[in-house]
Structure 1
Amino acid sequence: MEATVAITKAETLKPKPDPETLQFGKTFTDHMFTMQYSSEKGWFYPEIKPYAPVEIDPAAMVFHYSQSVFEGLKAYKNEDGEVILFRPEENFKRLNRSNKRLSIPPVNEELALDYLRQLLELEKDWIPTAEGTSLYIRPFIIATEPSLQVAPAHRYQFFIIMSPVGSYYPEGIHPVSIMVEDHFTRAARGGTGTAKTGGNYSAGYNAQAKASQEGHAQVLWLDGVEKKYVEEVGSMNVFFKIDGEVVTPQLNDSILQGVTRKSVIELLEHWSVPVTERKITMQEIFDAHREGKLEEAFGSGTAAVISPIGELTWKGETMIVNGRETGDTTRDLYQTLTRIQTGKQDDPFNWVMKI
């Protein structure tokens, strides 16, 4: 059954941006979705309305105690002009996992997906069709109760906003340089690392700035206790191909359960490529490189899908991965996932949802 949504259409529509000059998250569609929550009513009044600034009390608890969660997924158009999503149910499952960790009331996942579907039907002309482009979708929830009490809020607002984005690799997919961070901590077990919440990302800015100053594209995060075990790269999950086997850090309280990560593992298993989730030390990566067994390395996430790693710098040592070239497994994963996502290749996993 279709979820009932109040729809107010914009009187004036914005001009669509040039797909050749799109920047990530800088341009937004004509409409957005909102829904309110109170402890008395639960979630109520779902609404699609013109995209506009939000009026919010300065004492709203999100400003003071960072009670917020968000998601990120993309919409595409296939060659027949149909709007398609890639595993959106997984994003709303993860939204609720984040909600639970941040003491935010859960949303009905099926209804949330239907609200998104109705928003996309209204905004489908905003989906760019040039190679590598898509419509980025950002669902998020913030605590809106005006209070300075240190306790979970009693009022929240759920939003979905959307932004047409350009190709992550306008000049083609290229391996990047990564700095292993051994001082700053992204997250620790028992914390909020497994949730998609804003503080996890702003806490990484210092380390990212340091990496950029030293000529690196991203940071490789180690565990927050021993600074020994590999966890994530930038805001992505990370994989290494060592002596024919693909390994990735096993999930724990400080590693995000990525939708692309899950898809990579399932795709490798489908190809009968050995893939293992386990604890991985940075020393193991270093030793594998020294022994000539580190064949490939890459990150996975919604924005880039697959990001090959060409070199790793750790404790003053630089490890060159596959001659700074994209490896076969990395390239195959990128091409297969992006072709499934855009409807250019058969989807044997039923990952794609048509709107």
Structure 2
Amino acid sequence: MATVTSADDGTPALSRTPLYDEHVALGATMVPFAGWSMPVKYTSDLVEHHAVRRAAGLFDISHMAEIDVTGPDAAAFCDRALAGRLSALAPLQSKYTMILAEAGGIIDDLIVTAVPDAAGPHFAIVANASNRAPVVAALAERATAFDGDVEVRDASDEYALIAVQGPRARDVLEAMPALTVESGAPEFGDTKYYRNTLARFGDVPVRVARSGYTGEDGFELLVPAGAAVELWRTLRATGAPHGLVPAGLAARDTLRLEAGMPLYGHELSLDVLPAQAGLGRVVAIDKDDFVGRDAVLAGPAAGAPVLVGLAAEGRRAGRAGYAVLDATGRPVGEITSGVLSPTLGHPVAMAYVSPAVAEPGTVLAFDVRGTAIPATVTTLPFYRRPRA
């Protein structure tokens, strides 16, 4: 369960995940993030980044929101309320989707899982921490207007979410005697990407999803909040011989950027339609109706900016908010996320630019304190993990 710190200086209080004391004990640098006190790094963001690419990293992502949608008409409701066709999900299958405003802008991007439940249809939604309130409010409003039997419940404080990411992630889970797959459920190695399996940590139920936000193989473990500390400590101890290290927000951001994964508040917002972000495929436009459908079908306005990747040489990286320039020095867009890629060794960025200059191979530049750094439009992602 989340706890809330006191704020004597009048600033908003920060929530703490069940693992807060573990982070402090490890010497993590704690920072405010989406209303939470979160570890940005433990030792070095570069060390943590490379550990995930080469072995495994351990992330506390318990700040994410968990929302349950249940009831006999839950599948039809999710199809109406969200952009994807969630009624097509098989049990234990997950899907990346979005919740849109009527005007087509993105309220949030989500992961939805069809959870086996003897009580009836059950869809578990994971939303971004910063959008917990807007997503819950939008779903509740849409449930009220929906002609069917459905319940929306914010279950965020009941759970912790821990991610193990990297090429050795499977080894870590399989080396834990206390983490056992339930009878009849897929083994960790047999669980496909965006599928889940059911396990137990001692007597505690754990839903294990093969998914993540790093571009690497990995798993995300949903566990009751009261068991989070013991699971975290066991993962650390078991994973250490496999090269696993705790990793913070800084590494998570550079990893997701290399993998071309959008971040809400940077690449995604209420002002952006899915097609502008290259996510038109996520929207099931053949559904009879869903919130935002008319706006999505109409499409972005002529000349609306589109998301591209930019790759540059040298060591000077573009950052969010830096202007993107065309060959004449005229501003044609803006960087949303940028970094000197730890894996690739050169600057990469995502940016919204005019469609006229969005073709891969187009040479542009980004403005770093008055200096134009040449950059080439490139197809996302920047990094793909090696396949076994």
- TM-score, with normalisation over the residues of structure 2? 0.27
- TM-score, with normalisation over the residues of structure 1? 0.28
